[in-house]
Chains A and B, each alone.
Chain A
């Protein structure tokens, strides 16, 4: 079981899909980002609830209609790391 994370309490996201990519706006920072489907699904899942790393990867696979895989888990983990650096997500109290 990995660390538990949740959306930064100051963040509020708006989403728009452009083909295989997503743009989102974070009202908390005023920043706009463009991400691929895996990163988008990862952040949307976190936005919707609180997950540990393994549960998050499983949920992302469900959302994207993909089989769970090591590559997908790595993509989810990389997304979590990126969003943490950006301050969009933060550790949740367990």
Chain B
């Protein structure tokens, strides 16, 4: 049974009562919320996800705080097992908070994978890992690649399995910000967007629904093939420049959420991943050029 099998009323009732458990990649999550904008976006963006039963890896809630604030200037709070890691957010940013909170749950509590802050997409059985700081164009590039046939693993975190060092998919809606929203709406008119939240800490934020096929293939891991550090620069010609593996290893370590926690195991895992991959810096200013370069990269194998 999937989220899409539930009526709008049933979904709202389950989410409101903390009775909806769904599978997302290797995890199960039980969100609780009665906030209409979150329910509506969830219904739109998670429609293809399987419902689950039993144990939840993550139980979190998006809810208004108690008190007059609820009426004067509506706000929302994220809580995870009673912990509140974020400040209150304006109520109209509830859905971004849902996604950011979900990210926080995975990044803060999961150590059965090495987690690298990076997007990951796959083609031909090899995963392209795209680490990048905010503003590097990582998510925009990811959305563009997915629209041209690359399979989405994640736009936010690459999970490396301890056994085999494979990359494990956790396909979730792609978060786009500001100008990138219109760019992808134009580049991929078929993309399904959630509602846009404005004036967040990151500007305007909207999420793109994961393709049904990518949700269905979330159990299929693949080997890491390329590590590419993207850097968007307006007007720049697309150029792929080989990158030294030791420096790549250090940069990935500093981009990992739990490398230090995993300690020696994390080092061994990261070294194994880097050894297997071709490593590059990538500068681009045009998505069509960028796609063409990655097509050639994947054809070379």
Residues of A within 8 A of B (CB): 12, 14, 16, 18-19, 21-23, 25, 27, 30, 32, 34
When C-beta atoms are compared, the residue in chain A nearest to B272 turns out to be A16
Q: Are B271 and A16 in contact (CB under 8 A)?
A: yes
The one of B246, B260, B264 in contact with A18, judged by C-beta atoms closer than 8 angstroms, is B246
Q: In the complex, are the beta carbons of B249 and A23 less than 8 A apart? A: yes
Distance in Å: Cβ of A15 to nearest Cβ of chain B? 9
Which of A12, A14, A18, A21 is most buried by chain B, counting CB atoms within 10 A of its CB?
A18
Main secondary structure of the interface of B (DSSP, over half): helix
Interface presence of B174 (CB below 8 A): no
Q: Would B274 and A14 count as touching, CB distance under 8 A?
A: no
Complex Cα spacing A27 to B265, Å? 10
Contacting residue for A27 out of B250, B259, B263, CB 8 A: B263
Instruction: Decide: B260 and A30 in contact? CB cutoff 8 A.
Output: yes
Shortest Cβ distance from A21 into B: residue: B246
Could you tell me which residues of chain B, from 236 to 266, have a CB within 8 Å of some CB in chain A? 244-247, 249-250, 253, 259-260, 263-264
Q: Note all chain B residues with C-beta closer than 8 A to A18.
A: 244-246, 249, 274-275
CB neighbours (8 Å) of A30 from chain B are 260, 263
Most buried by B among A16, A27, A30: A16
Q: State whether A27 and B249 are in contact (beta carbons under 8 Å apart), knowing that A16-B271, A18-B274 are contacts in the complex.
A: no
Which one of B244, B245, B253, B267 contacts A14 once the chains associate, using CB atoms below 8 Å? B267
**Is B5's CB within 8 Å of the partner chain A?**
no
Q: Complex Cα distance A34/B267, Å?
A: 12
Residues of A within 8 A of B275 (CB): 16, 18
Of the candidates B244, B245, B264, the one whose C-beta lies within 8 Å of that of A25 is: B264
Q: A21 to B244, Cβ gap below 8 A?
A: yes
**A11 to B260 CA separation, bound complex (whole angstroms):** 15
Measured in the bound complex, the distance between the Cα atoms of B246 and A87 in whole Å is: 22
Count A-B pairs with CB separation below 8 Å. 39
Chain B residues within an 8 Å CB radius of A16: 267-268, 271, 275
Within 8 A of A (CB), among B249-301: 249-250, 253, 259-260, 263-264, 267-268, 271, 274-275
Pick from B250, B259, B260, B264: contact of A34, CB under 8 Å: B250
Measured CB to CB, the closest approach of chain A to B97, in angstroms, equals 31
- Please indicate the chain B residues that have their CB under 8 angstroms from the CB of A27 in the complex: 263-264
B246 proximity list for chain A (CB < 8 A)? 18, 21-23, 34
Q: A18-B274, A23-B271 are in contact. Are A32 and B253 (CB under 8 A)?
A: yes
A31 to chain B, nearest CB (A): 9
The interface residues of chain A lying within 8 Å CB-to-CB of B260 are 30
Residues of A near B263 (CB, < 8 A) are: 25, 27, 30
- Shortest Cβ gap from A91 to chain B (Å): 26
Q: Say whether B253 contacts A19, CB under 8 Å.
A: no
B271 to chain A, nearest CB (A): 4
Instruction: State the CA gap A30–B262 with chains docked (Å).
Output: 10
Contact B249 A25 (CB under 8 A): no
- Residues of chain A with a CB closer than 8 A to B268's CB: 14, 16
Q: Tell me, rounded to whole Å, the shortest Cβ–Cβ distance linking B277 to chain A.
A: 12
State the Cβ distance, A19 to closest chain B Cβ, in Å. Answer: 7
Least CB separation from B271: chain A residue: A16
Contacts of A32 in B (CB 8 A): 249-250, 253, 259, 267
Distance between B188 CB and nearest chain A CB, rounded to angstroms = 37
Other CB < 8 Å A-B pairs besides A14-B264, A34-B246, 6 of them? A18-B244, A23-B250, A23-B271, A25-B264, A25-B267, A32-B259
